[in-house]
Amino acid sequence: MKTHVIFDSHENIGRLTFAAEVPNKPPTLDYDVLDELEGHLKNISSQQASFDAIIVQSQSSKYFVVGANLQALQQIDKDSILSWIRRGHEVFNRLEDLPLPVIAKITGYALGGGLELALACDFIVSSHNASFGQPETGLGFIPGWAGSYRLPRRIGEARAKELVFTGKTVSAEEAYRIGLTNFVGTDQELEHYLLSTLQAISKNSRLANSLVKPIIKNSLTSSLQTSCYEESVASSVCLASGDTQQRLKMFFEARTHK
């Protein structure tokens, strides 16, 4: 049985890696891949206390992931494609809702469903060789895995419309300029940025990060009053935890010894 998505971890950092099964061909998100990805996501959720963050990446340096196998789309019926799209929604939503930071690392093309997968992560980092786009309208359909929802929340409504209406592909530098990605650099610089970012995340409270993540997400659609309430509940949970009390103790002890 083929392995489409590989999960491994090192020093409390998990990595979800899409296998490059065929040279020079991008990984696609068919049912088998989606099912395998969901299985890993369920395991990560059940073991969330073991991880500080998750990296989503591809074995291929040329491609991240693409959504559809375009040849297969020519032979699929309406009911089947509707079922497949809904399956993608379920899995991408599960990825977005992981209770810990998730970073998409992209070194090649992230187009269509691949970009939508990256948008379900908390933020995206890339090398100079990366390219991004939602080319679906050029093929007669639309972004189907919540790209029309997540993309404007990442880069704004007008820029999202421009990318979707034109179907154009943008460079890594342009993606960074418009706020689609958080970092762009050489392969070496990308690894250094990832390492320093993961070290910073790992120093902080897993509980706090898990509680604040949905509050930030919900703030885009909820009222100020709702966000304040969610913050107050989460803050009380944090303050009651042994980890927070230990961190406060260490903070004041460090100040005393200065």
* All structural domains of the chain with their residue ranges: 5-202, 205-256
- Residue 3 clears pLDDT 70, i.e. is over it: yes
Which tokens belong to 191? 């690894």
Burial of 202 (0-12, 13-18, 19+ CB in 10 A): middle
Torsional class of 77: left (φ above 0), alpha (ψ -120 to 50), beta (otherwise): beta
What is 2-64 written as a DSSP string? ---EEEEEETTEEEEEE---STT------HHHHHHHHHHHHHHHHTGGG-SEEEEEES-SSB-
Catalytic residue among 96, 116, 174, 230: 116
Quick one: fold of 5-202? 2-enoyl-CoA Hydratase; Chain A, domain 1 (3.90.226)
Q: Is 136 labeled as catalytic in the residue annotation?
A: yes
**Residue 114 near residue 92, CB atoms below 8 Å:** no
Mean pLDDT of the chain, nearest integer: 91
Mean per-residue pLDDT, 130-158: 94
> What's the alpha-carbon Rg for the chain, to the nearest Å?
19
**Whole-prediction pTM:** 0.91
Catalytic pick among 136, 173, 189, 191: 136
